[in-house]
């Protein structure tokens, strides 16, 4: 059982772009800083291949490499990164108590940056066949589908990025889109990703379809769709299904303590203050984060939250 004897100035929950950037700013302000992360530091960027739109890199950079650099920068300024799972927060004054799977911490301020997890596909057999041809991470699993015919579900930035990545391995990648081809709402992705996907010889589109069922006994063998205009069912053969239909905030540990919206996102004011004085939030788990869902936005919010924590401590 780990017990933090001396309170830390800033305790950060989550070591993704928001949490690690907050750690850089808190460390540079000479505040004692601990970052708690239950998984691999770097957050969802560990499941991303390349980043092309991070300022300062004329060429694309490996997302995991970028996050290793950000982590090293945070540690250079004195932040301690601890692998531990936060179970709950007990607000207090002058310190808040943070309970983890390995002990407790006392913190004068807390920055919540727990990030989010992929939404699961609400289709028959999707859960049963997860890991058996159904995947939520192209960079993790794409290699295992060399020469296969794949279905990508999700037409936002992340979905098209994954589809383009999968073309390195697959014979074909089909993107299922629930809207008609000429509907302005068909894509939520940036124009450049749309262009790349449309022009790629291995990528094709299925318009006006929703997925009703994943077919297969021990492994994915196909997908049953429903055409939204004709209402007709249709089954097509696929070797694998990759899903990217959005994310859910990882905020269960804060429920009942921190104000959340109906979807579980942390509610804050424009300065990233939660309803509890001295507790701030940043990144993908914060309310309205899904409007942007960009690593650079999360990093910016992490910087803001650390600055607000510094101001709070100076009062």
| DSSP three-state, residue 143 | helix
DSSP-assigned beta bridge partners for residue 83: 37
Give catalytic status of residue 141 as yes or no.
Answer: yes
Contact 93, 106 (CB under 8 A): no
- Residues 278/108, Cβ–Cβ less than 8 Å: yes
Number of C-beta neighbours around residue 182 at 10 A: 7
Q: How far is CA 82 from CA 23, 75, 79, 103, 129, in A?
A: 12, 11, 10, 12, 33
φ, ψ dihedrals at 76, nearest 5°: -65, -30
Residue 268 contacts residue 181 (beta carbons within 8 Å): no
Question: Which of 140, 183, 252, 261 is an active site residue?
Answer: 140
Closest to 64 in 3D by CA, of 131, 5, 135, 140? 140
The one catalytic residue among 141, 157, 239, 284:
141
Contact 302, 272 (CB under 8 A): no
Both structure tokens of 223: 């997908």
Nearest to 243 by CA among 211, 219, 216, 218: 211
CA distance 60 to 81: 27
Q: Phi and psi of 313, rounded to 5°?
A: -70, -25
Is-catalytic flag, 137? yes
Q: Which residue's entry shows tokens 């999700």? A: 154
Beta-bridge partners for 94? none
* Local structure of residue 91 (DSSP, 8 states): -
Active-site choice (49, 85, 137, 259) = 137
* N-to-C CA span, the chain: 33
Active site residue 140: yes
Contact 199, 164 (CB under 8 A): no
Catalytic residue ranges: 137, 140-141
């Amino acid at each position: 059982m780990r017990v933090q004897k001396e309170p830390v100035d800033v305790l950060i929950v989550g070591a993704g772009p928001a949490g690690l950037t907050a750690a850089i700013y808190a460390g540079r302000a000479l505040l004692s800083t601990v970052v708690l992360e239950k998984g691999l530091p770097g957050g969802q960027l560990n499941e991303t291949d390349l980043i092309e739109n991070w300022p300062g890199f004329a060429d694309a950079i490996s997302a995991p490499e970028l996050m290793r650099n950000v982590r090293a920068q945070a540690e250079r300024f004195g932040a301690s990164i601890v692998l531990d799972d936060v179970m709950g927060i007990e607000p207090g004054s002058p310190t808040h108590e943070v309970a983890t799977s390995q002990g407790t911490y006392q913190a004068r301020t807390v920055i919540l940056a727990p990030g989010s997890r992929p939404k699961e596909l609400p289709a028959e057999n999707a859960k049963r066949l997860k890991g058996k041809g159904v995947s939520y991470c192209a960079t993790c699993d794409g290699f295992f589908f060399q020469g296969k015919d794949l279905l990508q579900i999700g037409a936002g930035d992340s979905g098209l990025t994954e589809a383009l990545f999968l073309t390195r391995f697959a014979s074909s990648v089909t993107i299922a889109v629930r809207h008609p081809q000429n509907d302005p709402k068909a894509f939520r992705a940036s124009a450049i990703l749309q262009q790349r996907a449309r022009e790629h010889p291995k990528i094709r589109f299925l318009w006006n379809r929703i997925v009703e069922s994943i077919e297969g006994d021990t492994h994915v063998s196909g997908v049953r769709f429903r055409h939204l205009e004709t209402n007709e069912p249709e089954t097509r053969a696929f070797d694998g299904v990759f899903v990217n239909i959005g994310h859910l905030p990882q905020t269960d540990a804060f429920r009942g303590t921190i104000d959340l919206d109906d979807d579980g996102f942390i509610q804050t004011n424009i300065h990233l203050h939660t309803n509890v004085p001295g507790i701030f939030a940043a990144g993908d788990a914060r309310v309205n984060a899904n409007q942007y869902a960009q690593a650079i936005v999360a990093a910016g919010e992490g910087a803001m939250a650390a600055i607000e924590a510094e101001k709070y401590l100076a009062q």
